[in-house]
Each structure stands twice: as C-alpha cells, then as structure tokens.
C-alpha cells in the first residue's frame, strides 16, 4: 500500500526518484525499493517523505479507491508527459479525499449526475445545440439570467469540480474524466473567471451532447457552441445586443462580460453565431484583438475566479454532525491540526484554498 501511494505522491509533486531522494537524504535506489514494496520505510523516513511531498503521513495508509476513466484534456498533446502524470495524480488525490468524505454521510450529500430530459435525441446542425443548452437551463431552473456561481450549479447536479494550480501550465486548458461513473471536471485555480467558466461549460457540453451529434459535426466546435449558449442564451444575447448590429463597441462587450462571465471574444462568437453581426466583421475584430494583445489579456475589469467551496463545506458539515473529528477533518483538507483549528475558529485565511 505505502509503495503505490508513495509513487503517486512523487508523481503529483513532479519529482524524479533522484529528486525525492535528495530531499530526504536517501538514494534513488532506496526510494525505488519503497515504491516497489521491497522495503518499508521507518516512521522517521515516512515523516521526511510526507514533508517533502506535502502530504500527511496518513496519506500513505489510505486505501486505493479510485482510478480516472476516459481522461480527456482539451489541449493534452501540448503538455509534457511528466506534467500530465503530475496533474492526474494530483487530481486522484483530491478525488480520493472527496469520495472518502462523501462516504461518511449516511445519505449521499449530492444528487447523482444524469443527462436532463428534453435534450434532442439527434443533433444534425449547430443551431440545434442552442435548443440543447436551453433545455439544460430549463431543467435546472436557471432561466435566462447570468449564472453567478457555475461550480455550485454543476456540483448541485452531480458533477464534481476540482481545481489545480496551473500557473506553470499555460497550455493546460482543462480535464474531464469519470470515477465510478461520476463525472469529473478539472480547471486551473489561477485562471480568470471567464476562462474557468468557459471550460466548465464546454465540458458540460461533452456530457450533455454525448452520442447525440451527427458524424459530420465536430464535437469540440459543438461543445464550444454549447458553452456559449449555456452561459448566455440566445434570448439574452438578443435582449442585450439587439437582432442586428453593424458595430459593437468594445466597452459594451466588456460590460456584458462582467455581467455574464463570458469573454469578450466569446461574446463576439455568440453575436456571429446568432447572425447579429457578420462573420466578416467578427473576423476583423478578432484580428484587432490580436493586434492589441486582447487575445491574451482582455481589457477592462476581469471576471472573478470561480470558487470550489463544496468540499470545505462538506468537511465542516461532517464535523458538525460528528461524522468525523478535527484530526480527520485536518487530514482531508491536507493541513496540520493547528492550522485547521485556526480556520475553524474563524481566525485563519481562506479555507477554500485547501481542497
């Protein structure tokens, strides 16, 4: 048990055998023996390994419970293999803690995911994706208003959302997978909110449009269309922009971005897709965005990042109902008991950062 978990923690940290050995004063061969279960590290060494890998010692004794199925990266081919492995192992650790926590509840705390009723059985053109996005919004009682907390909406309907620090991975643009038929979406915690939201809505599109698209429709393009339609449905677009425009001021796009959490570039696509502006004009604006550098950082106020607070909320729910004690709560949140007690007393920083 310890060997597999040591291997996983090392991969999540992005360490080679030699890197980890140097951190704890051992040879790479000694670390390899521990991972291969040819030797068992003494408690003093286990403490050093835990500190080097930023895990608690309890982590090494946690049973193997999950494996990611059907992993899909939106830009997987451009990521180095070493970083791909680190991302996957980091996500597995979060999922294990999440499943362990949810299993403590006598009644499952969240509703299982299921495609909504009313979705088209077969989609033969992109305009029908507008209907699919609206069917989801209707089933989830979202109306046509902006969605202020998208992660909360997805979690409420059985989609687990996890965040990783992707500061060093500008090419990482999201991950979707499943565990025990439970859909998983992973986004970067440091991304601007509009990028997070588009990735979340895009992956929701994959779940809702699965096995519904005709063979001649590109699935990625279809899910992009779904994402835009889900974040700002066509009725809202026409109410905000009108049915036809010769020109849309950038400030107008910026204000709509603040309201609906879809990027300015994404709003231009929505206007083009719905025939409000011509494709030629949208392309001209895209060139202007590149000239001004707006394709990298858009002007104006940035949309706030999404917050993944469900896990922390469930930890304190379980603590309040005596399903767990403080020590277990601290372990689940990957922090020391003292740090957890400080947060519990409302004296610390942002508990949601410890997922």
Which of 200, 219, 85 shows the shortest CA–CA distance to 152?
Answer: 200
Q: Which residues, other chains included, contact 209 with Cβ-Cβ below 8 Å and sequence gap of 6+?
A: 123, 129, 132, 219, 222, 223, 226
Tens of pLDDT, residue by residue over 3-39, are 888 888 888 788 889 999 999 999 989 999 998 989 9
Residues 216 and 158 in one domain: yes
* Whole-angstrom distance, CA of residue 49 vs CA of residue 43: 10
User: What b-and-e string marks burial along 285-304, b requiring 16 or more CB atoms within 10 Å of the CB?
Assistant: bbeebeeeebeeebeeeebe
Dihedral, CA of residue 246, residue 271, residue 276 and residue 251, to nearest 10: -40
CATH number of domain containing 19? 1.10.260.40
Residues 121 and 259 in one domain: yes
pLDDT in tens, the chain (355 residues): 788 888 888 887 888 899 999 999 999 899 999 989 899 999 899 999 988 988 878 888 876 656 655 566 555 446 677 777 777 777 888 888 888 899 899 998 888 898 898 898 999 999 999 999 999 999 999 999 999 999 999 999 999 999 887 655 666 777 788 877 789 898 888 889 999 999 999 999 999 998 999 999 999 999 999 999 999 999 999 999 999 999 999 999 999 999 999 999 999 999 999 999 999 999 999 999 999 999 999 998 889 999 888 999 999 999 999 999 999 999 899 888 999 999 999 886 565 555 6
For residue 306, count CB atoms less than 10 angstroms from its CB and return exposed for 0-12, middle for 13-18, buried for 19 or more.
buried
Residues 100 and 157 in one domain: yes
Residues 145 and 241 in one domain: yes
* Whole-angstrom distance, CA of residue 2 vs CA of residue 151: 34
CATH number of domain containing 186? 1.10.10.2910
* Whole-angstrom distance, CA of residue 334 vs CA of residue 340: 9
Residues 293 and 334 in one domain: no
Tens of pLDDT, residue by residue over 283-306, are 999 999 999 999 999 998 889 999
* Whole-angstrom distance, CA of residue 227 vs CA of residue 113: 18
Last residue of a domain, one of 12, 33, 64: 64
The confidence score (pLDDT) of residue 81 equals: 74
Which of 147, 143, 146, 98 shows the shortest CA–CA distance to 309?
Answer: 98
Last residue of a domain, one of 22, 48, 64: 64
What the block records as the tokens of 56 is 């608690």
Residues 17 and 31 in one domain: yes
Contact 226, 208 (CB under 8 A): yes
Residues 72 and 208 in one domain: yes
Residues 20 and 48 in one domain: yes
What the block records as the tokens of 168 is 């060093």
Contact 154, 200 (CB under 8 A): yes
Where in the sequence is the domain holding 74, given as residue range(s)?
67-306
What is the total count of domains within the chain?
A: 3
Residues 71 and 58 in one domain: no
The confidence score (pLDDT) of residue 191 equals: 87
Last residue of a domain, one of 13, 38, 64: 64
Q: State the DSSP H helix or E strand holding residue 69, giving kind and residue range, or none if neither.
A: strand 69-73
The confidence score (pLDDT) of residue 190 equals: 84
Residues 74 and 175 in one domain: yes
Contact 254, 300 (CB under 8 A): yes
Q: What is the CA radius of gyration of the chain?
A: 23
Residues 82 and 98 in one domain: yes
- Phi, psi angles (nearest 5°) of residue 304: -60, 145
Residues 269 and 146 in one domain: yes
Residue 115 vs residues 14, 107, 182, 228, 255: alpha-carbon distances, Å: 36, 22, 12, 19, 32
What the block records as the tokens of 71 is 């992993």
């Amino acid at each position: 048990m310890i060997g597999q978990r040591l291997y996983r923690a090392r991969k999540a940290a992005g360490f080679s055998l030699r890197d980890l050995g140097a951190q704890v004063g051992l040879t790479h061969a000694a670390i390899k023996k521990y991972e291969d279960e040819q030797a068992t590290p003494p408690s003093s060494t286990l403490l050093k390994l835990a500190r080097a890998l930023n895990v608690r010692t309890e982590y090494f004794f946690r049973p193997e419970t999950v494996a990611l199925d059907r992993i899909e990266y939106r830009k997987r081919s451009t990521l180095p293999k070493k970083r791909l492995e680190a991302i996957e192992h980091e996500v597995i650790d979060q999922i294990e803690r999440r499943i362990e926590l949810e299993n403590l509840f006598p009644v499952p705390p969240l509703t299982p995911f299921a495609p909504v009723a009313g979705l088209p059985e077969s989609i033969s053109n992109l305009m029908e994706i507008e209907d699919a996005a609206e069917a989801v919004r209707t089933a989830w009682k979202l109306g046509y208003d902006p969605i202020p907390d998208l992660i909360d909406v997805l979690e409420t309907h059985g989609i687990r959302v996890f965040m990783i620090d992707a500061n060093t991975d500008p090419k990482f643009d999201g991950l979707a997978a499943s565990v025990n038929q439970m859909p998983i979406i992973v986004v970067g915690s440091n991304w601007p909110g509009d990028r997070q939201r588009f990735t979340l809505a895009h992956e929701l599109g994959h779940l809702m449009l699965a096995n519904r698209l005709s063979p001649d429709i590109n699935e990625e393009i279809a899910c992009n269309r779904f994402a835009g339609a889900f974040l700002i449905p066509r009725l809202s677009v026409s109410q905000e922009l009108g049915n036809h425009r010769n020109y849309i001021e950038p400030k107008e796009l910026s204000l709509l971005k603040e309201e609906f959490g879809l990027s300015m570039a994404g709003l231009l696509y929505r206007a083009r897709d719905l025939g409000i502006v011509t494709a030629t004009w949208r392309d001209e604006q895209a060139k202007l965005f590149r000239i001004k550098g707006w394709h990298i950082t858009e002007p104006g106020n940035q949309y706030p990042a999404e917050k993944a607070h469900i896990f922390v909320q469930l930890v304190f729910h379980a603590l309040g109902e005596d399903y767990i004690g403080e020590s277990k709560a601290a372990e689940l949140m990957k922090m020391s008991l003292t740090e957890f007690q400080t947060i519990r007393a409302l004296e610390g920083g942002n508990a949601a950062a410890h997922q």
